[in-house]
Amino acid sequence: MTAAEGEPSGQLEGALELCVANERVLLLPERALWLPSHDTLLVADLHWGKAAAFRAAHVPVPMGTTSSDLARLSSALESTGARQLLILGDLLHARGGRHDETFRIIAEWRERHEHVTMTLVRGNHDQHAGDPPATLRIRCTDEPARLGPFVGVHEPAHDANGYVLCGHLHPCVTVRGRGKQSLRLPAFVFGDARGVLPAFSSFTGGGMYEMQTGDHQYAIAGTEVVPLA
């Protein structure tokens, strides 16, 4: 990977541009990755229906998380003009979150983006939650998705035939200020052989990503992506 420090993108507000595997890659503050040469937007760990699953288990959680996440995803799709959406696993959270109202909201969102081809590379949660309804027209596969030099999977892996893009680990960073103040921010992590996307879901906590030699972190600070030393 080159351009390790990253450069602000002049085309997408708040985005950070990198050169990865000799291709232009943009990290978006919406927690998505844009591959312009492939006309593809990538996201990971949407965990649709997670709040509904919690409520079904009688755990009081806020309403509206699915709608707000879908609005953020719409923003990324519309700002990039992406023709393809590639989901790197964990689209659905659990079988307990498969509620009619949740799918009604998602169906309305899908109709708004009917021109976009959508593919899910199944993750560990998808294996238990099941595939989304066929009416959403989201192709589901257990096979890695290959886009030029990139290999899209859910869990981190090594692939000698390509640069791996994945999710699953929910990377985040802790930013500390004066007075012992601290804030955890979702982050992208890019290394020599793989890039890890942040969890797209706003109702999913950050994981404990262990940095590897050659890794670089890029935190999502509100409406912009910033490189960290």
pLDDT digits (tens, 9 = 90+) for 80-94: 999 999 999 999 866
Q: Three-class SS of residue 27?
A: strand
Phi and psi at 108, nearest 5°, equal: -65, -40
Q: Decide: 26 and 3 in contact? Cβ < 8 Å.
A: no
14 Cβ contact list (under 8 Å, min separation 6)? 28, 29, 223, 224, 225
**Of the candidates 149, 154, 150, 183, the residue with the CA atom closest to the CA atom of residue 167:** 154
Return the exposure string of 61-85: e unless at least 16 CB atoms fall within 10 Å of the residue's CB, then b. Answer: eeeebbeebbebbeebbebbebebb
pLDDT tens profile 161-187: 999 999 999 999 987 766 667 688 999
**Of the candidates 188, 184, 206, 204, the residue with the CA atom closest to the CA atom of residue 196:** 188
For the chain, what is the mean pLDDT?
Answer: 87
Confidence of residue 101 (pLDDT cuts 50, 70, 90): confident
Give the per-residue pLDDT at 199.
Answer: 95
